[in-house]
Chains A and B, each alone.
Chain A
């Protein structure tokens, strides 16, 4: 049986879909069999971020309603050895699927794949309930902003109330320069407030925009800082003990890397 991991946040626009795409691709690059499940019915985007939008025939709702077989709802990503996507339906709404149906779907997928990554929609309504229904592990994505951290806190409460204990935190779009001058909450501030385990920190990186433009996850790009952060996160998910990049010290590793690649001015 594979592991079902839900990627969620509460607030929209913090990088759930980008995170799902990168972690999924990273796990596939590590030799795991992976399926990405877009649970954002009506507002699908994971297909676009992955650059697979032109290959959609069937979607999640078709599979759940048994219009097609499970395998027909999967798109194989030919660039990676064992990576598949099940897109969301674009013309239906959240009520097209029930949590029970999602539970069955993720269970069936977990029989075929080592990792089932569920990209959750924003919010705490039906779509969120569907996304977490079959998950046994959860990743909460936030950015270092008051609104995003507040929503993350609410989501953590809801995950724990739904028996998804020990959600892990991914802090996205940290701006090194702003943290340094005290104008952005740092990792310790956020971990201190949310009081859950930290899975990783992804620096703000223009490369993400470029990757999304091209439909190629940044994790495959060696020059991308965010890509490096995602590679570390993938290793942590697989159980490796990878130290966190230091962002606070003047000459932290990431600052050095940033300097090498010209992201930080001297």
Chain B
């Protein structure tokens, strides 16, 4: 369920100044980031040359999550805040809860290889809209959100409303500090006033949840929840005479095309001196380097996003490398860990 602790909505509503919004928008950046490691890992676990349709769907979601994180950061920058991207606490603990109480107290997000169960039990729960559109034939009976919880959509609606209340005066006149390159110009654009802020928030909400009337955020492009449900159902959603149905092109899943990586790999799980330890430290270091690069980009040097992109490509190669390292006797492989690391080692006990 895409629910979050209602207190965050209330804090937005209670904000008296733009400075009150800073920590809440920082929360939003952390939230948008928090889904990237699990989605990315599932995507990396699909072996090259297999499961292309699934990979392509997840990639489109990951790309949008990256743009949502960027929009949230630009929002914060636009009203004079400074995103904090490269602190150890910025990365959630996996398995663990998402920021802002997303999904409720019992909902934990793991780092696992791709499986349909992972899609259904985790990814679809993360992305579930406030008012799902009925698509035939999914499991019936999606529960309504409980009262103590709000939804991500409500949170962003509250932010939008608050920005409207505070007015154009809260925006700092330095849009060149925002990161807009690499994204479609109608989705990620400089935020300079109430109007552009509102439009940006709509992008996040619609791409994440869709609308109340259609699963599609744009023609033939379902919102995240529905893309994941397409993967789970194995078929694309199409509009029929009787409404929406999983009756489109098939999305085949080849279970042999998945690296059987261990669940929730952590640096400390692997013995020093093993290929797995060396590789997982390298990955964690590179991921931390990516956050460092993003921090620079979001703090006055937006061109630095190019440097960050280089690291994203490097991470892909390092992940595939890790997922080909056998660990233990069970045929499982090592996998990526998302821990903040300032240096890389693991070759031998430090001298």
- Binding between chains A and B: no
Binding site for B on A (CB under 8 A): none
Binding site for A on B (CB under 8 A): none
